[in-house]
Amino acid sequence: MLASYDRRAEYLRAGGDPTQAPGITCKRRDILRLRLQEYLRFAPQVEVALLWAAGFLAQQHVFQAEHLPYRTQLVPLAAIRAVLGHQAETHAADKKLRRWYWSGVLGELYGGAVETRFARDLEQVVPWIREKGPEPITVTEASFQASRLLTLRTRNSAAYKGVYALLMREGCMDWVYRQPMNMASFLDLAVDIHHIFPKAWCQKNGIDHARRESIVNKTALSATTNRKIGGRSPAEYVKAVEAAAGIVGDELDTVLRSHLLHPAALRVADFEAFFADRRARLLELIGQAMGKPIVDTELESATAFVDEADELSDVEVYRRAKQEAGYHAIYFLQMVSERGGLATARHLLQTSSVSDGFTTLWERHRLDLTVEAVVLRQQFAPLFTEQELRTARSRLEEYGYRPT
């Protein structure tokens, strides 16, 4: 990618026609075209850039490989650093790089085939940082739907890992030990993500699976603190935490607030008040990281469909495509695992062209199994905007299928 970037820059410096300039590319076939002198020139720069990238990630509180939202995003991050050099370390550049990074993570833009995005990032982020270009597409097109918080439940999702890291980056303290979540304490205290309202308590009190397992009901805690929580009600375990930490009242409340928690709601085990308050605070945190407000305009009824939409995407569409059309939608299933069914459908509808899966199902005369056909069903249409529904309908009609 750096070699193609350099060739393009050299062509433009020589006064070449920008419309005819060689493109920036990083496809696998380009590796075979890499000249030895190019490799020898850029390899040391890449090594330095990757070491810098490790430090950048640590500053974002991504401390271990298993907690890295996207390994793929390391490619453009390192390339951008290689081109910018030490300029990437200035306050102004760091602010923009962080916004670009979190837009990619929380917008979930680096799953699947991403070579085109890599090239676009290098081409657009560098001049943006140098004040010679507009915001890159990765920043402008990144969005986070408020309803996504309900479906962020496991580390399979990049955004789940991202919210986890953001909470630590914002300075949350362990509840028992007076330690911020930095690299040293993260390892020494065996920090991991744990339930705030324990799973056993939620099951006993009829809390639905979606909210129980949502990132909203989880935070970064040491192994010791988690043992103090056990499966008890927050109204009970806060007393055990106070005793273990040797603090009471306002002191512990201050620590709890560092996790974006509502202390009063925990002390009386009011799950509804806790969940609504923390959901709003997490959306604000996400908006700050992405540099844009997260407008919570979801239909109130939409959350009731989230689990159904996930189940539909994961089970019905995949199963029927496999059984009835002989199509194994592996990439689709991977997206559902990472994003959830609702977010996957929205992502596919926002792309500029139909997916490979859509084309495959068209060839097999089964457009009724496409995401576009599913979202137009009466029970799912309320989850989508008018523009998204028009896109779905237009694509189907263009390929000769009229949805009922």
Residue 196 confidence (pLDDT):
96
Instruction: Please check the confidence at residue 339 and state whether its pLDDT lies above 70.
Output: no
Element (H, E) at 221: strand 218-221
pLDDT (tens digit per residue) in 304-332? 344 444 444 444 566 677 777 777 676 67
Closest CA to 336 of 293, 298, 371, 296: 371
Residue 303 confidence (pLDDT):
42
Cα separations in angstroms, 100 against 25, 126, 137, 145: 20, 11, 9, 18
pLDDT (tens digit per residue) in 53-83? 999 999 999 999 999 999 999 999 999 999 9
Residue 129's Cβ-side half-sphere holds a number of Cα atoms within 13 Å equal to 27
pLDDT (tens digit per residue) in 1-29? 898 888 888 888 888 888 888 888 888 78
Range in 55-64, 297-306, 336-345, 352-361 the model is least confident about: 297-306
Residue 368 confidence (pLDDT):
87
Residue 338 confidence (pLDDT):
63
Range in 245-254, 287-296, 304-313 the model is least confident about: 304-313
Q: What percent of the chain has pLDDT over 90?
A: 56
Query: How far is it, in rounded angstroms, from Cα 306 to Cα 210?
Result: 9
Residue 64's Cβ-side half-sphere holds a number of Cα atoms within 13 Å equal to 11
Query: How far is it, in rounded angstroms, from Cα 266 to Cα 282?
Result: 17
Cβ atoms 345, 375 nearer than 8 A: yes
Q: How far apart are the first and last CA of the chain?
A: 46
Residue 176 confidence (pLDDT):
94
In the three-class reduction of DSSP (H, G, I as helix; E, B as strand; rest coil), residue 253 is classed as helix
pLDDT band at 333 (very low <50, low <70, confident <90, very high): low
Instruction: Please check the confidence at residue 248 and state whether its pLDDT lies above 60.
Output: yes
Tokens of 117: 């995005």
Residue 297 confidence (pLDDT):
53
Quick one: CA dihedral 37, 55, 73, 289, positive or negative?
A: negative
Q: Which amino acid is at 343?
A: A
pLDDT band at 291 (very low <50, low <70, confident <90, very high): very high
Tokens of 159: 């955004």
Query: How far is it, in rounded angstroms, from Cα 210 to Cα 71?
Result: 27
Which residues fall within 8 angstroms of residue 375, CB to CB, at 6 or more apart? 345, 349, 381, 383, 384, 388, 389, 392
pLDDT (tens digit per residue) in 136-163? 999 999 999 888 898 899 888 999 999 9
Query: How far is it, in rounded angstroms, from Cα 228 to Cα 268?
Result: 17
